[in-house]
Each structure stands twice: as C-alpha cells, then as structure tokens.
C-alpha cells in the first residue's frame, strides 16, 4: 500500500501546537502552508491522527495534482482519480478555492467537478453520509483532495452540551499545551467555565482520549480503506504519568450543570464544578493555573462588566498567580495590558489573543 500525501488542516494561530503534535506522532518531514501541514503517511497514521489529534481541525489526503489552466485540464485531473477506492453511496460536497488562476470562479470550478464526477461515479446519493472533496487551484495548478475526518475534529463526540459562546476544543487544547509539560502545575482552574471546554480538553489530554470511541470519520465510509475495520478506535491510551485535576466555576447554574454532564466521561475524582462568582474567588493554590475564556462581545456581556473581569484577572497576575486567558485584541488597551500574545487567532470574527502571566 502506497503512503498518502496527507494535509493536516489547522486554525491559523495554532500552527506551533499543530507542528508539535506532528512531531509527537512521529512525522519527521512536513511542509507548512498558511493553514495546513503537508506530509507523507500510511493509513494507520491517518487514523491515529484523526482519533488522537487535539489541535488539527481535519485531515485530507491528496489524490491528484497537475495543470488546471482550463476546464479540460481540471476534467482530466478529476478523471485520473480512482474514485472507486473511496466512493460508494456518500453524498458529495465540493469545496473550491482558487488563487491567481485563469479558472477563478469558485462556483464554476465546483460545477466542472460535479459534472465530471457524475460521469464517473454513479452516485444516486442514497447514503446518509457526506463526503467532502476539495479542489484548490493556485497559479493554474490544481490539487484534488478528499477529506478523511468528516465533521470538523473540534467536535469530539463527547462533552456535547454547549452554552453561549463556547470555545473551540482545538483552541482550548492549544492553551493547555502551554502549561501541560510543567511539573509545577497539577491543577487547572477555569473560574468562568461555561460548558467546561477547557476542563474537558485538559482531562482528554491527560487520559489521551481517543475520539474514535465517540464519533465517526469519513474514512470509515471509503470503499477500500485498509484500516477501516481494524480496532484502531480501541487503541490503548498512552501510558501517561501526567495527571491534572480540574476545577470549574460559573455564575450561571445551567453552565455548571452542563459542565458536570460534559465531564462525566472522566473519573469523578478528577474534577469539581461549582456555582460561584469569579469575584468571590480568593484562594488560588500555588500549583494551580487559572486558564479561562472570559465573557466578551456585546452579545453576552456589557463592555464595562467585561473590563472588571479582565482587571481582576490582571490583578491576580500581578500578585504572582499563574494565569492564562483569552482577550479580544481591542480590549487590551482598555485595561492597559501590553504583553506579547502567546498566540492570536480569530474567534468568529473577533481577533483574540491568548496571554499568559507568571508562566
């Protein structure tokens, strides 16, 4: 079996953590692009990455690459793919991107692909699964890729209850990666935990949780995929001596209940979630870190109230407490914080920084 050329797609801002993950999974040679890494790997690696990655949002495999200056070139590329290895009865969803190319109209590119595919793949779309295919044309060279993940990988399949403005699990994991290797920290506190994403991701990392136990992937529907039926979804978790405890607080009872439900896949002794106002928290043990995603954005909180929360976080930091939090870049000037972000990303359309103190 020939290895695949795999594209690991990540949210811009989390590239440092995505790269570390690839190295951890034994990938030695990779090239980095704007929002994906490209590398060569066998099907088993593809499965493992889908099941165990905490940072990547999805993995595609590259099926064909070549000239795509005119419609006929693109048709030729599509016809060269051995679709019978992948497609059975899935509904097809095509994503097209074009940069600096003669074929520039993405709707038109999709149309060409759909038409060409319908002549090759006798798909009556009877199945209830979807298969994403992506076509990317850069400077008149086209790449045809097929998605192996299905739903975005931040959807872990567990911890499914979500409160207002939940954080993407992949970003929560990037935040946790910053403190994970530190042996002076054994406890994560999220004082505004919402649905508990930071806490569930921290425990998922300590347990090396395999999301293949909780959700499906597109590669499971591929017609001939050697790893489709192996027991990789039961792959044992890595022996992990790193044990973190987590504590969550929230002022809102529903968030507390949702977080408890979301964390119930873990051992009860590893977590504690209580209703509490952040302004009533005083004692922070030395071996703890506060990691949090405070409320911001007009939709959920008045700016003045958000400022008070950020001021208290920054006061705690000035007293020596280990703190890491997300903050909209525009809010930084309001509370006079001027530290270099650990990473920056777009939370929806809000430019957001992750800042850490005493870490």
Ligand X SMILES: C[S@@+](CC[C@H](N)C(=O)[O-])C[C@H]1O[C@@H](n2cnc3c(N)ncnc32)[C@H](O)[C@@H]1O
Residues of this chain that bind ligand X (CB under 6 A): 163, 165-167, 191-192, 194-195, 197-198, 249-252, 255, 277-279, 293-295
Minimum separation from the CB atom of position 212 to ligand X (A): 23
Residue nearest to ligand X according to CB distances in the complex: 194
Nearest to 181 by CA among 27, 52, 15, 24: 24
| Euclidean distance between CA atoms 212 and 215, whole angstroms | 6
Minimum separation from the CB atom of position 192 to ligand X (A): 3
Of 217 and 271, nearer to ligand X (C-beta) is 271
| Euclidean distance between CA atoms 99 and 93, whole angstroms | 20
Minimum separation from the CB atom of position 302 to ligand X (A): 11
Minimum separation from the CB atom of position 57 to ligand X (A): 16
Please classify residue 289 by burial: count the beta carbons closer than 10 Å to its beta carbon, then call 0-12 exposed, 13-18 middle and 19+ buried. Answer: buried
Of 157 and 166, nearer to ligand X (C-beta) is 166
Minimum separation from the CB atom of position 180 to ligand X (A): 18
Of 6 and 172, nearer to ligand X (C-beta) is 172
Minimum separation from the CB atom of position 297 to ligand X (A): 8
Of 62 and 312, nearer to ligand X (C-beta) is 312
Residue 94, strand partner residues: 133
Of 234 and 315, nearer to ligand X (C-beta) is 315
Of 87 and 291, nearer to ligand X (C-beta) is 291
Helix (H) or strand (E) holding 60: strand 58-67
Nearest to 252 by CA among 164, 311, 323, 316: 164
In order of 71, 104, 105, 145, the CA distances from 101 in angstroms are 12, 6, 9, 18
| Euclidean distance between CA atoms 260 and 203, whole angstroms | 13
Helix (H) or strand (E) holding 201: helix 197-206
């Amino acid at each position: 079996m020939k290895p695949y050329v795999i594209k690991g797609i990540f949210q811009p801002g989390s590239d440092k953590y995505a790269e570390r993950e690839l190295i951890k999974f034994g990938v030695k040679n990779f090239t980095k692009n704007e929002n994906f890494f490209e590398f060569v790997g066998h099907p088993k690696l593809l499965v493992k990455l889908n099941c165990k990655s905490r940072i990547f949002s999805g993995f595609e495999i590259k099926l064909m690459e070549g000239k795509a200056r005119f419609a006929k070139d693109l048709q030729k590329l599509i016809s060269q793919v051995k679709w019978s290895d992948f497609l059975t009865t899935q509904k097809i969803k095509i994503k097209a991107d074009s940069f600096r190319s003669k074929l520039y109209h993405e709707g038109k590119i999709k149309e060409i692909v759909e038409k060409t595919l319908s002549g090759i793949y006798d798909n009556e779309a009877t199945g209830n699964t979807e298969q994403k295919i992506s076509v990317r044309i850069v400077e008149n060279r086209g790449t045809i890729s097929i998605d192996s993940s299905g739903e975005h990988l931040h959807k872990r399949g567990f911890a499914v209850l979500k409160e207002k403005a939940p954080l993407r699990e992949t970003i929560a994991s990037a935040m946790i990666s910053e403190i994970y290797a530190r042996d002076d920290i054994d406890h994560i506190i999220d004082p505004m935990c919402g649905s508990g994403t930071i806490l569930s991701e921290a425990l998922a990392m300590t347990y090396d949780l395999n999301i293949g136990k909780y959700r499906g992937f597109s590669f499971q529907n591929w017609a001939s995929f050697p790893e489709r039926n192996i027991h990789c979804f039961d792959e044992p978790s890595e022996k992990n001596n790193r044990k973190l405890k987590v504590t969550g607080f929230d002022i809102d009872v529903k968030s507390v209940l949702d977080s408890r439900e979301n964390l119930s896949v873990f051992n009860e002794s590893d977590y504690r979630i209580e209703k509490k106002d952040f302004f009533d928290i005083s004692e922070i043990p030395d071996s703890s870190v506060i990691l949090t995603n405070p409320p911001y954005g007009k939709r959920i909180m008045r700016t003045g109230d958000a400022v008070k929360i950020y001021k208290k976080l920054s006061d705690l930091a000035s007293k020596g407490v280990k703190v890491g939090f997300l903050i909209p870049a525009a809010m930084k000037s309001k509370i006079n914080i001027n530290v270099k972000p650990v990473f920056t990303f777009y939370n929806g359309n809000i430019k957001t920084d992750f800042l850490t103190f005493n870490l």
